[in-house]
Amino acid sequence: MNGEIDHILFEDEWYDSSLPIFAIQLVSGRSSTQNPYVRAASGRQTVRSIKLRTGQVHYRDGEAYDAPAFIRFLEFILQEYPTGNIVMMLDNGRIHNAAQIQTFLQKHPRLQFVFLPKYSPDLNPIEGLWKWLKSDVVHNVFYKKFYHIRINVAAFMKRVNAEPMNVIDRLCIRI
């Protein structure tokens, strides 16, 4: 990686094998005078201020959660961002450090992982997306068929991707 970051993505998974893997781009490594700042914090200290770029949510639905499925998701991300360096912020899940994943990353040097500290879900904005999705789709709802949940998750994703500023407003701290 040449040091320039073009895309910063936050990634997380829902461990139910038929529900999605998400990555969300809330911030960009490149500056833009049109976008408000987001404060990125680690523990007690503010790491830096970065400019907000997009609230686009990327997800894959209905795959088993294993190394090959995660690689397919990473390939999808590389296709979505065909140029520039990508930094993906994620937790320390075992799958993220699997040998197959490390081999994949070596073949794709423009994709780099940054692992969040253990037991710090509050540093990953996707945790807020999970809460939002659960409250809108699964809380206090009984689905007779499991595929109805998947249909409603897809509708939720379509809705949030249609209005990315709502994602940014809901998941980011603006200063």
Domain range spanning residue 78?
A: 7-171
Q: Could you read off the pLDDT tens digit of each residue along the chain, which spans 175 residues?
A: 567 888 888 888 765 544 455 556 665 555 444 433 333 332 222 122 222 357 788 877 766 678 888 898 899 899 988 999 999 988 888 888 999 999 999 999 999 999 999 888 888 887 888 888 888 887 888 878 777 887 888 898 889 889 888 888 887 755 3
- Domain of 70, CATH number, reads 3.30.420.10
Q: Are 24 and 56 in contact (CB under 8 A)?
A: yes
Extended strands (E) in the chain: 7-13, 21-27, 37-42, 45-51, 57-60, 86-90, 111-115
In a domain, 2, yes or no: no
Using CA atoms, how far apart are residues 122 and 15, in angstroms rounded to an integer?
18
Residue 1 belongs to some domain of the structure: no
For residues 65 and 95, is the Cβ–Cβ distance under 8 A?
A: yes
The tokens for 122 are: 């509050």
CB atoms within 10 A of CB 83: 8
Does some domain include residue 139?
A: yes
**Alpha-carbon distances, residue 96 vs 26, 71, 116, 146 (angstroms):** 21, 10, 12, 27
User: Residue 142 domain-assigned?
Assistant: yes
The domain tally of the chain equals 1
- pTM of the predicted model over 0.85: no
Q: Which residue pairs, CB below 8 angstroms and at least 24 apart, start in 128-135?
A: 128/170, 128/171, 129/22, 129/24, 129/57, 129/160, 129/167, 129/171, 130/12, 130/14, 132/160, 132/170
SS3 of residue 165 by DSSP:
helix
For 30-156, strand residue ranges (E) read 37-42, 45-51, 57-60, 86-90, 111-115
Whether 120 maps to a domain, the answer reads: yes
